[in-house]
Structures are given as structure tokens and as C-alpha cells.
Amino acid sequence: MDFPHYMLPGVPPLVFWLFVSAAVLLQGVSKSGFAGGLGILSVPLMLLVMPADKVVASLLPILILCDFNAIYFHRSNCEWPQLRRVYPPALIGIVAGASLWWYIGQAGVERYEAPLKRFVGVIAVLFAGYIFAKETSMRWAAEHRGGPRAAWAAGIAAGFTSTLAHAAGPIISLYMFSQGMGKKRFVGTVAWTFTAINLTKLPLYLVVGMIDWSVLAFDAVLLPLVPLGSFLGLWMHDRVPERPFNWLVLVLTLVAGVQLVFNVPVVEWTLEWLAGAG
């Protein structure tokens, strides 16, 4: 099936589908509990080959399916009081993010394509730094238990960044880790939190016109990759060391982030190099 409006000019179909498929698989792996936060690499990967609004719109139904899969495995592992602290302020951020998307849609997405990509690129670079200093970050979070103010700050920031670019993973993870819950409770509470946030975003995306039938048709093609990614994550959990995998993610996230921030044509250069080598 052909989706020409979903491909950036000059991107070969094979490269397009490789990047998009990898992004969806990464979401499934991340939602399974392996290398949590890995899913933030999905948006930068897709932005290298797709328009910004198509990336954000098409990822939301995929994320919701991944969330449902995650809460199935962690249906009894949620600290509900923590979810209730973060979700109400997240609503403020979600509405603000949806309002911004409505404004961008009215003004013309092409006009804001570069700023949106830079925004995601900056988040990707910051997340690479978060991975690099993850242990230090987690120790700091464990020593500074977040109170009501931290819950409101984390909720608003998570709601906004999640609605604008599906990039709230580190925010929610750091806040939940600071609450001192066990690993299963931590993974389960994060999964339930993002299920609530993403389900809330869905009707707002519909209202502002981001999701239409073409988005659903595009997602239908990618649908089989969701359970495959989840299975792959569960398989990797006991077989692949998470530390070297996180370093690989760090490098890839940093490269994608730098390309988006500075508009460095890494994909084009790579394709030219491969063509020359061939």
C-alpha cells in the first residue's frame, strides 16, 4: 500500500518502511518493560522520514495498543494514589499541547515543521544525556522523594510533551522512581499512567483534525509489529544485557537528535555513501 503523503521528499520507500517499522518495534520493546524509555527514539526515527504531524498522529493509536498490552501484563501492579497525583495536572498539559497543535494546524504545519523537529531533537539529546547519567539520575530521584509540587510539575510537563511529541517517558519515570516503589509496581504504574494520558489525548487529536481515516489505514499496516515488539522485549529481558543495549540507544538517540536540531542530513549522506560504495 502506498502512502505518499507520509513520506518526506527524496526518501526511498524501503528506507521509509525500515525506519517506521523500527520505530514501532521499539515502542513494543519499551512497553514490555525492557529498556524502559527506549520508545522515545521512535519519534526522532520517524521524523527523519515523515512530516511531523503525520508522525505524532500515526503513533498515538500504536502507543495505545502498546499501552493495553503493557497493562495486561501489569494489571495488578499499579500504585493508584501515584497515578491520581499525576493525572489531573497532566490534563492541563494535554489541553495546552492539543491547543498548540490546533494552532499549528490553522497556521500551516509546514511553517512549523522545522521548530517541531528541533523541539523533538532537543528532547532526544536531553534523553541521551539522561541515559548516560541514568544511574546518577535515579539515585538523585531516590534521595529526593517528589511531593505534591513535584507531582504537579511532572504531570503538566508530561502532559504537554506527550501531546506535542510523545516524549514524556523520562519525566514520568523519574517522578515515579522517586516514590520508592518496587520494580514491578514502578513498571506497572508507569504503564497505567501513560495509558490514561494517551487515551485522553485521542479525542483531542480527533477534534483538532490530526487523526483521520488515512492515519488509521497507515496504522493498520503497522499493526502486526506491535505484538512482535512486545514479544521481542520479553524475549530480550533475560537474554540481552540492558546496559550495552542502553548505550546503543544513547548513540542512536544522540545522532537522530543532532540531525533534527541542526538539520544535518545524516540519512541522505548515508544513502549517498551506500550508493557510492555499491
Q: Is residue 1 very low, low, confident or very high in pLDDT (cuts 50, 70, 90)?
A: low
pLDDT score of 34 more than 70: no
- The Cα 52–Cα 50 span in angstroms is 6
Segment 176-197 mean pLDDT:
86
Quick one: angle between helices 52-73 and 13-31, nearest 10?
A: 30
Give the model confidence (pLDDT) of 212-255 as tens digits: 999 999 999 999 998 888 888 778 777 877 677 777 777 777 87
Q: State which residues form the domain around 80.
A: 4-277
Segment 97-107 mean pLDDT:
93
Q: Is residue 267 very low, low, confident or very high in pLDDT (cuts 50, 70, 90)?
A: low
Nearest to 153 by CA among 130, 172, 127, 126: 172
- The structural domain count of the chain equals 1
